[in-house]
Amino acid sequence: MARRVARSNAAATKIGQTERLALSLALDYDCGVVNCEREGFRMSEEIVEGAPQTARYATGALFGVSAVTVWATWIAVTRLGVTTTLSVYDLTMLRFGAAGVLLFPVVLRKGLALERLGPLRLFILVCSAGAPYVLVAASGLERAPVAHAGALLPGSMPLFVALLSWLLTKERFASGRLVGYALIAIGGATIAGPGAFSMGETQIGHILLLSAAFTWAGYAIVLRASGLDSLHAAALVSTGSLILYGPVYFAFHGLHGMDAPLRDIVIQTLFQGVMVSIVALFLFGKGIEILGASAGAAFSALVPPMAALIAIPILGEIPSLVEQIALLCVSIGVYLASGGKTPSLRILRRG
């Protein structure tokens, strides 16, 4: 009897141990499943969160690159226009005739911003980015190739803005920006330096392009000080240029002053007055809105080399090796001068 009881207790103990082991295994398995599910949920969350961020960056980059593509194409298309069927004066009238009419409702809605600008600065804003700027820039493009214009016009703008800022406000610049300005100067000198004192057509074009860049720098200084949004500023420039330049153009050229084919007039009107003055501005603004202001540095740095590339199929202008190096130098300089971030090198130490 005692043996039967002992056997019975041993069996019960064994069964209890087996049940406990099974329960422990079941709990471990359940926890593993839960942990796997949790880890999988976390991983899926990261993927879901990462996908919109990647899509957001791609969307912002698409807007920014589209804007600078329009601006780079403007250089080649303007040179094509002023060296074929249209004069500098015609092209300027087409640009501000279209943009001034289209953006006039913005001026009606937002006003002249005299409380922020005052009459003098409003006049400087209109002249430094309006008809006088386009007249000088287009005259330079009539004489100098696109590769030179890419380096000397959009390329040198940050340098002149910095110069005016230093002269007017004693602004100081970080070392990265100073390196950028130096690279812009080196690239510009490489383009304009050879034959600078010969005063041929190309050299006159260089002077006009640099003068246009300096003129535009005045616009940048006034715009930054006023705090106006870019669309309002573009509307003031376009409508102001139409009001000031339109009567002068028609007084000298009349209502039938353009002898160019209708096709050329339509293309230049759409590109100059709509794509450059309105569409590119919207695209660039959306890109900055999505990616942040510092991304503008990367985008604007693309304009000089992109303009040279676009000029190859449109104008058949192929930059030399020296010009290509100068454009690369200017592009890096524009990126740094505009506040672009540089990669930081970190030394990893193993303890």
CA distances, 280 to each of 62, 71, 117, 204 (Å)? 12, 7, 25, 29
Residue 110, both tokens? 């937002």
Q: Per-residue b/e over 107-124, b at no fewer than 16 CB within 10 Å?
A: beeeeebeeebeeebbeb
| Across 135-139, 320-324, 343-347, least confident range | 343-347
Instruction: Compute CA 111 distance to the chain's CA centroid, rounded to the nearest angstrom.
Output: 27
| pLDDT tens, residue by residue, 69-101 | 999 999 999 999 999 999 999 999 999 999 999
Residue of 272, 298, 220 whose CA lies nearest to 76: 272
Number of C-beta neighbours around residue 312 at 10 A: 14
Look at residue 243 in the predicted model and tell me its pLDDT: 96
pLDDT confidence tier of residue 142, bands split at 50, 70 and 90? very high
* Amino acid identity for residue 348 in this structure: L
Q: Residue 343 gets which letter from DSSP?
A: P
Residue 45, both tokens? 């969350």
CA distances, 340 to each of 293, 335, 337 (Å)? 10, 5, 7
pLDDT at 12 over 60: no
Indicate the average pLDDT of the chain: 81
CB 131 within 8 A of CB 92: yes
Q: Residue 318 gets which letter from DSSP?
A: -
pLDDT at 14 over 50: no
Residue of 151, 95, 141 whose CA lies nearest to 304: 151
Can you tell me the mean pLDDT for 250-269?
84
Residue of 66, 217, 78, 76 whose CA lies nearest to 134: 78
Higher pLDDT, 53 or 21: 53
Residue 83, both tokens? 């060296």
**Would you say the pTM of this structure is higher than 0.75?**
yes
Cβ burial, residue 23 (10 Å; 0-12/13-18/19+): exposed
Residue 253, both tokens? 């050229």
Residue 207, both tokens? 């002077």
Q: Which of 16-20, 192-196, 206-210, 338-342 has the highest mean pLDDT?
A: 206-210
CA angle 75, 243, 134 (to 5 degrees): 15
Between CA 233 and CA 268 the distance in angstroms is 22
| Across 8-22, 284-298, 299-313, least confident range | 8-22
pLDDT confidence tier of residue 329, bands split at 50, 70 and 90? very high
Measured on CA atoms in the order 18, 23, 27, 32, is the torsion positive or negative?
positive
Can you tell me the mean pLDDT for 178-183?
91
User: DSSP assignment of 200-265, as one string?
Assistant: -HHHHHHHHHHHHHHHHHHHHHHHHHHT--HHHHHHHHHHHHHHHHHHHHHHHH-TT---S-HHHH
pLDDT at 311 over 90: yes
pLDDT confidence tier of residue 348, bands split at 50, 70 and 90? very low
Number of C-beta neighbours around residue 102 at 10 A: 16
Maximum pairwise Cα distance, the chain:
132
Residue of 118, 68, 115, 122 whose CA lies nearest to 235: 122
Look at residue 196 in the predicted model and tell me its pLDDT: 65
Look at the chain and count its residues.
351
pLDDT at 338 over 70: yes
Look at residue 194 in the predicted model and tell me its pLDDT: 73
| pLDDT tens, residue by residue, 150-168 | 999 998 988 898 898 898 8
